[in-house]
Structure 1
Amino acid sequence: MAADSLADELAAEKKKHHATEVAVDVMIMKKKKLLVVATAGGRPNAEPLFEIAKILHARGYVVEFATLESQECWANGYEFVSKFHILGPAIQLDVEEAGYLRMTDWKAPSLFGDARPIFDTKSFLEKSWPAVYSSLSAIMKDPESRPDFILSDYIVDAVLDMQAEYGVPIAMNWPQMPTNMLPASYIPGTAGLQIGVLTSEHATLWQRMKSELVGLAMVPELLRYLRNRRKMRASMGVTRSLPNGPKPDNLLLVNLFFGLEVAKDTPPNVVAVGPVLADDYPHLTEPALSFVQNHKKIIYVAFGTHVLFRDDTVRRVMAGLAEVLHRGVADGIIWAIRGMARKQLDLAADAPGRFNGKCTVGELLNGYNPNMLFVDFAPQRAVLDHSHTCLFISHCGAASVNEATFHGVPLVTLSVYFDQLQNAMRLRDAGVSLGLDKDTFTADDLSNAVTQVIDDPTGSFQRNSKRMQAISRIASKRKHLAADLIEEVHADHEWRHVDSISTRPPHLQTADVRMPFWKARNWDLYACFALLAGMSAVAIPAAFLYNLVRRREKKDG
């Protein structure tokens, strides 16, 4: 009987083990669906997502793309995208132009500055939330369209709502360490909104104090923004607040690398995986190809997709570059400036600086000077990779920063808003750039900065550019780590859920996130120690006095 019982137990165990193996095999064989979501910021915000998705597609994932109307073109070149989901109407061009013009007026956070443009910008970028939330909810409710995992740009708050409401695992891609998260004692002020300095290491007391106090100065506008956001969410029946803790509760991928990003302690679910760049990129074509071949020291100028500098700012840049050409510091300028940016210019006005009286701004843009090439689009990575390119004048967008460091080109920076301001400081601290204030710089400031970086009398700009290039190229392999982490989080999510109920916490989430703050910080333990110390401080002298009195009583008796 005992032998029969043991045999039955072994058979049952074997059957159970076989069933587990079959379940694992089924999960592995099942085509997993990845939904890529990007709604704002242009193609540069979507490309890192597609590069990671490309790796996952090669591993068996089905990839679909959700975006706003007319933005499906962001997936051009990524033929593995099998389906498109339209989350809402496209932003009208005149509304987009007005929004980005307001963003260009953004001032760096300051004690006495107007913080309204900062929060107006956030509101503008979040304007599509109701439509995106509604459309994503419909996708999640339908078993046929529901994804197994969502990989999203950091701007899309509705993806956080999908995680909260439907339990779908997500990863958010940030262009820098997340703003107002992961505080560190050696990083002054609000993380991502520092003023002038990135760390306290070489900061003065006043710089550290300003960074701490600027948050207080922004409180009135922050409260207005939060009030409007609550109303917007309530209009869709959502009363739940977005996560606002010091640590994220989802996988957070950072498209930068330490060396450019400030080294800091991060939890396991926050990982620097940048620069996330394509292995291949478009080659030089005419007219840029002939221009590059015929000029030996080229400055490349590009201010991104959405920076719309006012006429006065562009004139100062033109005047400064004219002086650079006159000095012979460089012999060629390639300037990528798209149609909406050209609209901000007075094309009939005389060109500035050394061009004054010789041609109009419009004539200059149309090829008056053979040493200046203005194009609507330039294959940026091909220009930066060319040995004749010696400097990049940039707004410090995430893609431009990653591409400049990957190709080893030093910069002069004119940052405008959001992460651009922090990126300018990162490049400065890395020793590969000089930064100018977009509101106060003069033509002479620009020509002098360009001259200093190109002439590079100490060799520090070239040396640091090569140093950052070496780090960047090694770090660029981490996009495969990003794909690994997504698969890891997905596997953990699949196996810790039973009937859609989580049986244990996410494996990359640190325990303090799930604990009361006083327990996570051991305040109760310290309070006990303090109480014991206080009791000891009273009890020991009391016992000493008691014994002293007793001895005297015995002696007198």
Structure 2
Amino acid sequence: MEHSSDMSAMARTNILLRRKIIIVVTTGGFTHAGPVLELGRVLAERGHEIEFATLNGQERWVETQDYEFVSRVHLLGSGPPPDQVDAHYRRMQTWDVRKGIEAPLISKAMWDSAWPQTYRSLKEIMDSPVTRPDMIIADFFMEAALDMHVEYNLPITMVAPNWPPLQLPCPYIPGEPGFQLPGTMTSENSSLWLRIKNETMVWRNLPAVVRFFIVTQKMRRENGVFYSLRKPKKPDYLLFVNSFVGLEIPRDLPPTCAPVGPLLSPTWPTLGPKYVEFFQRHNSVLYIALGTHIILPHQDFITIVLGVISMMQDQLIDGVIWSIPESGRKDIDENTKVSLQLGNKATVLTIADLLANLNEDWYFPHFAPQRAILDHENTRLYFTHGGGSSANEAVFHGKPMICMGIFFDQTANATRLVAAGVAESLDKMNFSSDELCSKAKKILESGEDGSYTRNVLRLQRIAHVASRRKYFAADLIEEHIYDNELRFDNKGKELLPMHLQTADSRMSAFKANNLDVWSVLLVGSAATVGLAWIAGKAIWEIISPFTSMNYGKL
């Protein structure tokens, strides 16, 4: 009994030992890093050691923000050069998923060009007993983390804004995840024609898909990696989505996958003096932010400006805060003139004057404290590209939206936000200033008891509850670590299957779907029917002469 007590104490002590968890983020900006670091915050509170690995230059994310729990930073090398990144965002700005998926595959190949150095850097971390982690939590762009999982039996967690492309398809959600056409929700509300177009999307672009995989496999072979990273329907690693049911479409999921968002920091930067003063002068503010990396075409910029002027003339809003980074202003012709009100007097200003904040009702920062703006009661409407973080923040802070998705999860989020009754959408390929104004009017004039107000409050309450699922996510991460570290022996042989993985993942499709059972039953039934027919025929041949004789006598 004493020995048993000692063993129990030892087990409890081992459970409480600190684990080393490395959070890995490559490209995609801070919107990819923030949710993953938020999981790190929860795990650090539980006593785990959190380190951060990223591309050169991105270490500033943890140095300048509230992530003091990060104990060490690993640099994985340089990302794609600026000219290629610029070309990517311009390509995606003009991409229309309805015309094919070649453009995003070209961009994906560009991001993947950083794979060789991230792969080698992570291997160096894994090969050293000093730096080797017990778990990697990675942004979904970091495919080298999957290689570490395969080569070292390392438990990993991948975090994505929506379900990753070509993974976890559902029969009642048309098409492949990541490549659905605009307006697609479920088969329940989709026309037969839209479902057909969704289901054939990848096949109609098969040459581009094949070219992408040829380039990817060649790059991997050149670096001594000869296996392929499959995209299993039920992954043997944790796959989290930074979203929640209500925004994300409900679907059947394996135990290794879960929506755990919105993954948001409990604190956020406050409003500076300029914003405080702006809100003191304006009671109905439109906030516009179309993404950190979007290079806004000049004509689109002017269309939005004219739409906002119409909104002001209709007294829907009395001020606008429009966050546009320096990179997003590249294509704007600042010499263009617009006519607008300055106090009670009409005036003509150039776009340069407007961007220089010479009109008291317009404020154009290069970067804005977004959550503080969304949290302010005077912010009435949010015009957004619908990125994962922006959608989560808007819903969490209870703001209705105009959504103009640019690519991938943004277009999908626009569809879902409209379906949830909290937004109106614009098509980036074809929208007008009148449409922008009329849709804003539809939302802002719905009143306190209108459907938008009710739906915004409904979804906000759901989001606040769902935001606590980051603790559930941390539970799953700990479960996965504890399971993985004791189900392999010292030689790396697997002693037990992964505890979160369903049995069908380790079976052939033939057996998992009971096709063998039905085959045996079918063959058995056919054999029974056949034998019965043969026996019946034989019996008939025996008795038929007597039957004929009897009929003859009659």
1:385 maps to: 375
1:415 aligns with 2:401: no
What SS does the aligned partner of 2:138 have?
A: strand
Tell whether the 8 Å contact from 2:340 to 2:347 is kept in structure 1 after alignment. no
- Partner deviation per Cα, 1:377-408 (whole Å, 9 max, x = no partner): 11111111111111110001110000011111
Tell whether the 8 Å contact from 1:68 to 1:87 is kept in structure 2 after alignment. yes
1:85 aligns with 2:74: yes
1: CA distance, partners of 2:79 / 2:320 = 34
How many correspondences in the alignment? 541
CA apart distance, 1:354: 8.8
1:226 maps to: 213
- Partner deviation per Cα, 1:248-296 (whole Å, 9 max, x = no partner): 2201111111011111100000011111111111111121111112111
2:243 maps to: 256
1:347 maps to: 334
2: CA distance, partners of 1:440 / 1:116 = 21
1:518 maps to: 510
2: CA distance, partners of 1:367 / 1:555 = 109
2: CA distance, partners of 1:30 / 1:202 = 50
Alignment RMSD: 1.9
Give the unaligned 5+ runs of structure 1: 1-9
Matches within 5 A, 1:151-300: 151-195=137-181, 196-300=183-287
1:424 aligns with 2:414: yes
Tell whether the 8 Å contact from 1:105 to 1:117 is kept in structure 2 after alignment. no
1:101 aligns with 2:90: yes
Segments of 4+ moved more than 4 angstroms: 352-357, 554-557
CA apart distance, 1:20: 4.0
**Percent sequence identity over aligned pairs:** 37
CA apart distance, 1:536: 3.1
2:476 maps to: 485
- Partner deviation per Cα, 1:338-391 (whole Å, 9 max, x = no partner): 111012211122248999981211111112322111111111111111111111
- Partner deviation per Cα, 1:490-545 (whole Å, 9 max, x = no partner): 11111212203221111001111111111111111121122122223333333333
2:348 maps to: 358
1: CA distance, partners of 2:218 / 2:506 = 29
Matches within 5 A, 1:3-18: 15=3, 17=4
1:459 maps to: 450
2:552 maps to: none
2: CA distance, partners of 1:51 / 1:219 = 38
1: CA distance, partners of 2:168 / 2:91 = 29
Tell whether the 8 Å contact from 2:21 to 2:49 is kept in structure 1 after alignment. yes
After TM superposition, the score normalised by the length of structure 2 is: 0.94
CA apart distance, 1:225: 0.7
1:5 maps to: none
Bigger shift: residues 315-324 or 397-406:
315-324
Change (3 A) 1:238 1:327: same
Tell whether the 8 Å contact from 1:256 to 1:272 is kept in structure 2 after alignment. yes
- Partner deviation per Cα, 1:83-142 (whole Å, 9 max, x = no partner): 11000124443432232222222212x2xx143211112112222111100100110001
Q: 2:366 aligns with which of 376, 383, 396?
A: 376
Change (3 A) 1:230 1:61: same
2:423 maps to: 433
- Partner deviation per Cα, 1:164-221 (whole Å, 9 max, x = no partner): 0111110111111232222222111112322221100011111111111212112111
2:489 maps to: 498
CA apart distance, 1:156: 0.3
One-letter code aligned to 1:518: F
Tell whether the 8 Å contact from 1:320 to 1:353 is kept in structure 2 after alignment. no
Bigger shift: residues 142-151 or 92-101:
92-101
1:74 aligns with 2:86: no
Change (3 A) 1:539 1:361: same
1:27 aligns with 2:31: no
Give the unaligned 5+ runs of structure 2: 550-554
1:133 aligns with 2:126: no
Change (3 A) 1:354 1:245: farther
Tell whether the 8 Å contact from 1:316 to 1:352 is kept in structure 2 after alignment. no
One-letter code aligned to 1:164: V
Tell whether the 8 Å contact from 2:167 to 2:177 is kept in structure 1 after alignment. yes
One-letter code aligned to 2:320: I
Tell whether the 8 Å contact from 2:149 to 2:156 is kept in structure 1 after alignment. yes
One-letter code aligned to 1:534: A
- Partner deviation per Cα, 1:150-175 (whole Å, 9 max, x = no partner): 11111100000000011111011111
Tell whether the 8 Å contact from 1:193 to 1:422 is kept in structure 2 after alignment. no
Change (3 A) 1:332 1:548: same
1:470 aligns with 2:449: no
Bigger shift: residues 97-106 or 399-408:
97-106
Tell whether the 8 Å contact from 1:315 to 1:352 is kept in structure 2 after alignment. no
